[in-house]
Amino acid sequence: MKIKITGIGSYIPEKKVSNTDFGNHVFLNEDGTPFGKPNDIIINKFKGITGIEHRRYAEDQYTSSDLAFFASQKAIENAGIDPETIDYIIFAHNFGEVKFGTTQADTVPSLATRVKQKLQIKNPKCVAFDILFGCPGWIEGVLQANAYIKSGMAKRCLVIGAETLSRVVDAHDRDSMIYSDGAGASIIEASNDESGMLSYESATYALDEANYLFFGQSYNKDLPEDTRYIKMHGRKIYEFALTNVPTAMKSCLDESGLKIDDVTKILIHQANEKMDEAIIQRFYKLHDRPVPQDIMPMSIHELGNSSVATVPTLLDLLVRGEIKDQEIKKGDILLFASVGAGMNINAFLYRY
């Protein structure tokens, strides 16, 4: 028995923020000193590295659980199921419920519980809980759904990834331009045909890597010291990802028994265009193969990095034919992969 994605949905906020909107930001170094370069140079260099030109921010009245609710409704409709038949709601996020204009996270009750309430699910045996696994959270939620279904504990799961990163960024940090908001949701069920998950890989590197992503003070030393924002050691993350993600992907592929040439598409976390391209190049180099054209669909150029939401949103866009010159067909072999805070890495191979 395998598990398969029987429904997929996403919510992409309507509020579009362009690179030019950062033109008047006061970017500072970590020690609070002026960055020393005009913003247009900073922004152009940023675009050249990340590929990001636009990103989406949640509408002021919505929170992460709202975005997740909208995406979940679409996934449930896409699957054609009764929400009362869902056994588990697994909600991957990192920063909880952060209302517009605040930086304090709210996680009680869990965001999964809030989505269950918004969906008006009456069944108390539908268990709702959150997971914190960095950007790979949605993939890890799918792996947990796989375990529940294969063990007989569940027949159907709703796995969500949603985040409002725009509300936890330091406006004086150049990295603030990377982050965005969004949600993706999926219905996971048992599969008795050829489609579904074929293999997986998951790992946490914490000995030296645990604090590559963390909560830290603003670079503006005039702001309150006890207010924290998402921070990262970008170079360390880049080097870590290039070393470890391709090998995890290879391990996942090897476990399936399939060959590199069988892979049709790679759906990788939309973190940074140059980093993702380098990961794919190293992955194919491990197999002594050139990188096939159009193997890696991208959404980061228009949507930015919405953390746990990037991979399910990318899948939803592909299914709906909304990524230019990209499509997936029945029988295609998809390799999902992600890396993020923890440092966590995971992947799974999937026959569509």
What residue numbers bound the domain in which 88 lies? Answer: 2-193
Domain tally, the chain: 2
C-beta separation of 307 from 161 below 8 A: yes
Q: How high is the pLDDT of residue 350? A: 97
**CA-to-CA dists, residue 260 to 156, 183, 235, 285, 329, angstroms:** 31, 30, 29, 11, 18
Please name the amino acid found at residue 340.
G
Domain edge (last residue) among 132, 158, 193: 193
Same-domain check for residues 106 and 219: no
Same-domain check for residues 166 and 303: no
Listed in sequence order, the residues at least 6 apart from 110 whose beta carbon sits closer than 8 Å to its beta carbon are 91, 128, 129, 130
User: Is the pLDDT at 223 greater than 90, yes or no?
Assistant: no
Write phi, then psi, for 282 (nearest 5 degrees).
-70, -35
H or E stretch at 54 = strand 54-57
Same-domain check for residues 111 and 151: yes
Q: Which of 153, 191, 263, 138 is nearest to 5 (CA)?
A: 191
Same-domain check for residues 37 and 176: yes
Q: Distance between CA atoms of 11 and 65, rounded to whole angstroms?
A: 11
For residue 227, the tally of other CB atoms under 10 A from its CB is 12
Same-domain check for residues 93 and 138: yes
Q: How high is the pLDDT of residue 92? A: 98
pLDDT tens figures, 288-300: 999 999 999 999 9
State mean pLDDT over 32-53: 90
Same-domain check for residues 151 and 297: no
Q: Which of 1-5, 16-20, 34-38, 245-249 has the lowest mean pLDDT?
A: 34-38
Same-domain check for residues 228 and 291: yes
Same-domain check for residues 135 and 218: no
* Per-residue b or e along 178-216, where b marks 16 or more CB atoms closer than 10 Å to that residue's CB: bbbbbbbbbbbbbbeeebbbbbbbbbbbeeebebbbeee
Domain edge (last residue) among 138, 165, 193: 193
State mean pLDDT over 7-21: 97
- In the chain, count H helices and then E strands: 8, 13
Residue 274 DSSP SS3: helix
Domain edge (last residue) among 134, 167, 193: 193
Q: Is the pTM of this model over 0.75?
A: yes
pLDDT tens figures, 73-103: 999 999 999 999 999 999 999 999 999 988 7
Same-domain check for residues 208 and 313: yes
Same-domain check for residues 213 and 344: yes
Same-domain check for residues 138 and 208: no
Q: Distance between CA atoms of 40 and 60, rounded to whole angstroms?
A: 27
CATH code for position 173: 3.40.47.10
